[in-house]
A and B are shown apart, each in its own frame.
Chain A
Amino acid sequence: MPRTVPPWETKRKLLVKTEDKTNPRYGCKPEERSVEEYMKYGVINLDKPAGPTSHEVAAWVKRILNLQHVGHGGTLEA
Chain B
Amino acid sequence: MTGVLPIALEESRKIVQALLLSGKEYVCVMKLHREAEEKQVRNVLKEFEDTIYQRPPLRAAVKRQLRTRRIYYIDFLEMDGRNVLFKVGCEAGTYIRKLCFDIGEVLGCAAHMQELRRTRAGPFVENGDMVTLHDVAYWFMEWQEQKDERILRKFIQPMEKALVLVPKIYVRDSAVDAVCHGATLTAPGVLSLETKINKGLTVAVLTLKGEVVALAKAAVSTEDILNMEHGVVAETKRVLMLRGTYPKCWKSGEA
How many angstroms from the CA of A72 to the CA of B13 in the assembled complex? 8
B140 with A64: CB separation less than 8 A: yes
- Nearest CB of A to B5, in Å: 4
- Chain A interface bracket (under 10, 10 to 19, 20 to 34, 35 or more): 35 or more
Instruction: Tell me if B's interface is mostly helix, strand, loop or mixed.
Output: mixed
**Given A72-B7, A78-B113, A13–B208 Cβ distance below 8 Å?**
no
How many angstroms from the CA of A57 to the CA of B89 in the assembled complex? 24
- Chain B interface bracket (under 10, 10 to 19, 20 to 34, 35 or more): 35 or more
Which of A4, A14, A23, A71 is B194 in contact with, Cβ under 8 Å?
Answer: A14
Q: Is B54 an interface residue when CB atoms closer than 8 A count as contact?
A: no
**Given A27-B211, A64-B137, A17–B193 Cβ distance below 8 Å?**
yes
B23 with A73: CB separation less than 8 A: no
Which of B50, B157, B211 is A45 in contact with, Cβ under 8 Å?
Answer: B157
Cβ contacts under 8 Å, B15 to chain A? 43
For chain A residues 13-56, which have a beta carbon within 8 Å of chain B? 13-23, 26-31, 33, 35, 38-50, 54
Q: Is B210 an interface residue when CB atoms closer than 8 A count as contact?
A: yes
B120 with A8: CB separation less than 8 A: yes
